[in-house]
Homo-oligomer: A and B are copies of this chain.
């Protein structure tokens, strides 16, 4: 199906849309989720408030979109996980990177903001799963399937469960600040997972 120009007949201003998302990103990073006001976004974006309310149902939706849009390009490029042939090595590489990302104070506020929206709005959660989580998981599962083929992972393993065991503890530790996010922790999660799902 040809991509083409957008045949949809909305008269929506792309310029304003971009300005709003950009201003939102900037403000969330600067003052944190709770203190971002629609009025401030509008002012910063040089946009009338109505233009925001016309296209988004809530502040949460704007913030969500702002960061969703940000990640939409990345996902296409970093399409595949490393595959050295050794699943343990590769997972540790990936998990350590994830740990580092979470630990980066720069991303702290935006990620918490995004998470907040997801946790409190079922609609946004659904969007998140479909547009962000699922594609990212697909990439990871691809690598896991490769490991299954290589006999490094149980053939019958439920890959969603594998991912949950791998990532959920890390996520929870970050969310509740219940412990330090270290490379060691990343490694031990990989170890546990591989032990649980070895052939």
Q: Is A112 an interface residue (CB 8 A)?
A: yes
Mark each residue of chain A from 165 to 184: 1 if its CB lies under 8 Å from any CB of chain B, else 0: 10111011101111100000
Check A164–B173 contact: CB distance below 8 A: yes
Q: Is A116 an interface residue (CB 8 A)?
A: yes
Main SS class of interface, A: helix
How many interface residues does A have (CB within 8 Å)? Answer: 36
Q: Which residues of A contact B (CB under 8 A)?
A: 33-34, 112, 115-116, 118-120, 122, 125-126, 128-129, 133, 158, 160-161, 164-165, 167-169, 171-173, 175-179, 188, 192-193, 195-197
List, sorted by A's number, 24 A–B pairs whose CB atoms are closer than 8 Å. Answer: A116-B120, A118-B175, A118-B176, A119-B119, A125-B176, A126-B177, A129-B176, A133-B178, A160-B179, A161-B169, A161-B192, A164-B168, A164-B173, A165-B165, A165-B169, A168-B168, A168-B171, A168-B172, A169-B169, A192-B196, A192-B197, A193-B196, A195-B195, A195-B197
